[in-house]
Amino acid sequence: MTLTLSQGPLSATPPSSVNYDLTGPAHRLFLQEFPRRVRAVVNGETVVDTRRGALLHETGLLPQLYVPAEDVRRELLAPSYHTTWCPFKGRASYWSIRVGDRRTPNVVWSYPRPRTEAAWLRDLLALYWDAADAWFDEEEQVHGHLRDPYHRVDVRRSGRHVRVLVDDTPVAETTTPMLLSETGLPNRYYLPSTDVRRKALSESATRSVCPYKGTATYWSFTAGGRQVQDVAWSYPDPLESALKARGHLCFPHETRRVTVEVDGEPLR
């Protein structure tokens, strides 16, 4: 995400605070080796098993794993007449996956005759993430997408004074938040649960998955007959990069009807 989104150097709006110019097309491609074993499992069968994968970083998109054709179970693939055209990579050919009684159409693709400037894509195949039941990075199952080596999460103890209001009702206040910085995203303040009015919050059914932080649980606000959905989230069992945020709640300041003040100033 770092290179291709937000203001990364391969994004559509790269930063101006540099002493160099990037020449070439506005839509940029960068293929980089992914140095670990990756497997994709469909209906109990390993369809992809590679130690030679590479991530394609492409402007405006999350990195996509491409693997040598030899690392895909070709006997589980059925050719398709479906094609798509990319002005930067060329025409893509597709395959469906057939495993047992399950057929998933048009989920594997390649560029058999890629454009000259992307000739290194020849003989590589890609698989849509959602087409697999499980993905493994070495022996660990990963969710959401493979981690981008240029994306980072840091959590630090902070002494900032953070106050949270929902519909002008105070909900939380602390001087011991955890400050979570994540590449390309605004800083987030995670407040200790002991400094949150937990009786005003109830767990919602909403969940989200972050490959860098884990699975988030969401909380809604209820008071005086009013309810505001999903005003906060927490990571009950965070991944290693967000371990210090365990037991803390984050109130995103962009949420309508939520105000987060840091040292007396509302976040914008």
Q: Could you report the per-residue pLDDT of 148-200, keeping only the tens digit for each? A: 999 999 999 999 999 999 999 999 999 999 999 999 899 999 999 999 999 99
Is pLDDT at 22 greater than 90 in this prediction? no
Decide if 8 is inside a domain: no
Residues in Cβ contact with 220 at an 8 Å cutoff, skipping those fewer than 6 apart: 201, 202, 203, 204, 227, 228, 229, 230, 231
From 142, 161, 193, the end of a domain falls on 142
**Domain check: are 175 and 110 in the same one?**
no
Q: How many domains does the chain have?
A: 2
Spatial separation of the C-alpha atoms in residues 50 and 121, rounded to whole Å: 16
Q: Tell me what pLDDT residue 225 has.
A: 81
Question: Tell me: the pLDDT tens digits for 88-130?
Answer: 999 999 999 999 999 999 999 999 999 999 999 999 999 999 9
Q: Is residue 128 part of a domain?
A: yes
Same domain, 189 and 244: yes
CATH of the domain at 174: 2.170.150.40
pLDDT tens readout for residues 29-51: 999 999 999 999 999 999 999 99
DSSP 177: P
Asked whether residue 13 is assigned to any structural domain, the reply reads: no
- On whether the CB atoms of residues 214 and 242 are closer than 8 A, the answer is yes
User: Which is higher by pLDDT, 106 or 256?
Assistant: 106
- CA-to-CA distance for 204 and 181, rounded, in angstroms? 25
- Measure the CA–CA gap between 183 and 154, rounded to whole angstroms: 9
Q: What is the pLDDT of residue 21?
A: 82
Question: Is residue 14 over pLDDT 70?
Answer: yes
Domain of 78, in residue numbers? 29-142
Query: Are 133 and 162 part of one and the same domain?
Result: no
Q: What is the mean pLDDT of the chain?
A: 95
Q: Are residues 178 and 239 in the same domain?
A: yes
Q: At residue 1, does pLDDT exceed 80?
A: no
CB 105 within 8 A of CB 77: no
Q: What is the pLDDT of residues 197-222, one digit of tens each?
A: 999 999 999 999 999 999 999 999 99
In this structure, what token pair is assigned to residue 7?
């203001």
Amino acid 204 reads S
Q: How far apart are CA 86 and CA 106, in angstroms?
A: 16
Band (223; pLDDT cuts 50, 70, 90): confident
Please report the beta strands in 183-225, taking only residues with DSSP state E, as ranges in sequence order.
188-192, 201-210, 214-223
- Is the domain of 137 the same as that of 162? no
Is residue 167 domain-shared with residue 136, that is, in the same domain? no
Tokens representing residue 146 in the block: 């493979």
Which of 12-16, 25-29, 133-137 has the weakest average pLDDT?
Answer: 12-16
